[in-house]
Chains A and B, each alone.
Chain A
C-alpha cells in the first residue's frame, strides 16, 4: 500500500519570496507522483506530474518539483510566489497498477498563505 505525508500543514510566505512544499511518500512498488492545487470552493487542478525520465519536473504557474527516489520525496518549489498562489496544495501518488484505473492516494494538504 502507498501513503503520502505532507510535512507542513501551513506555509506562510511573503510575496516574491521562494517557497518549498514538502512531500514524502511510502510505497513498495514504483509510483507516479503528482501535485494538485485547490483554490477556495473549486476542484483540484493538476500542477505537475512525474511519470519517468528527468527527475526535475516543470509544471504550470511557474512551479517545479524534484523526484528523489532515495529519499522518497517529491518536493514542490517556486522561486517567487504571488498573492494568487494562496491555495491548498496536495501531493498524490499512484502505483503502476492503479495507474490503469487512475486511483490516487493524496496527502493531507498544505495551505500556502502568501502575504503582501
Chain B
C-alpha cells in the first residue's frame, strides 16, 4: 500500500514564475492538507481540501491556491513566486478527521 506521494521531489524556479506541486493521498483517504516548512522552522498550515473544496485556510496570501480532484489527489499552485517561498512543501492525507499521514515533501527553491 503506497503512502502519500508527492511530485516533484525537487524544483527550482525564478522569482515571478508560477509553480504547481502535486500530491497523491494514501489509499482510502479523502482529505488533503498542505503545509509549508521553511528551513529551520516547523511546518505552517496552508489549507485543506475535502470533497474537492477548500475547507480551511491558514495565513497565506491568495498567490497560494489549490485544487482537489475527484480521485482525491491534490495540487498546490503558487503564483508570482518570491524568494521567501523557498521551502519544503508537505502534503498530508487523512480519512476525514483521522490520523494524518505526511508525504516526503517537495523542496522548492526560488532564485
Contact at B33–A102, with CB atoms within 8 Å?
yes
Interface positions of B (Cβ within 8 A of A): 4, 31, 33, 35, 40-45, 48, 50, 55-56, 58, 90, 92, 94, 97, 99-100, 102-105
Contact at B55–A43, with CB atoms within 8 Å?
no
Contact at B97–A102, with CB atoms within 8 Å?
yes
Total number of residue pairs linking A and B with CB closer than 8 Å: 57
State the CA gap A74–B56 with chains docked (Å): 26
Give the residues in chain A near B4, CB-CB below 8 Å: 43
| A43-B4, A43-B105 as given contacts; A106 in contact with B44, CB under 8 Å | yes
Interface positions of A (Cβ within 8 A of B): 4, 36, 41-46, 49, 90, 92, 98-109
Give, as a whole number of angstroms, the nearest-CB distance from A18 to chain B.
24
Give the residues in chain A near B50, CB-CB below 8 Å: 101
| A43-B90, A44-B102 as given contacts; A104 in contact with B41, CB under 8 Å | no
State the CA gap A92–B31 with chains docked (Å): 19
| A44-B102, A45-B102, A103-B33 as given contacts; A109 in contact with B41, CB under 8 Å | yes
Contact at B42–A99, with CB atoms within 8 Å?
no
Which residue on A lies nearest to B90, using beta carbons?
A43
Contact at B56–A44, with CB atoms within 8 Å?
no
Q: Which of A46, A98, A100, A106 contacts B42 (CB 8 A)?
A: A106
**A4-B42, A45-B102, A102-B92 known; 5 other A-B pairs, CB under 8 Å?**
A41-B104, A46-B99, A92-B42, A102-B33, A106-B42
Contact at B55–A44, with CB atoms within 8 Å?
no
State the CA gap A67–B41 with chains docked (Å): 23
Give the residues in chain A near B55, CB-CB below 8 Å: 101
Give the residues in chain B near A90, CB-CB below 8 Å: 42-43
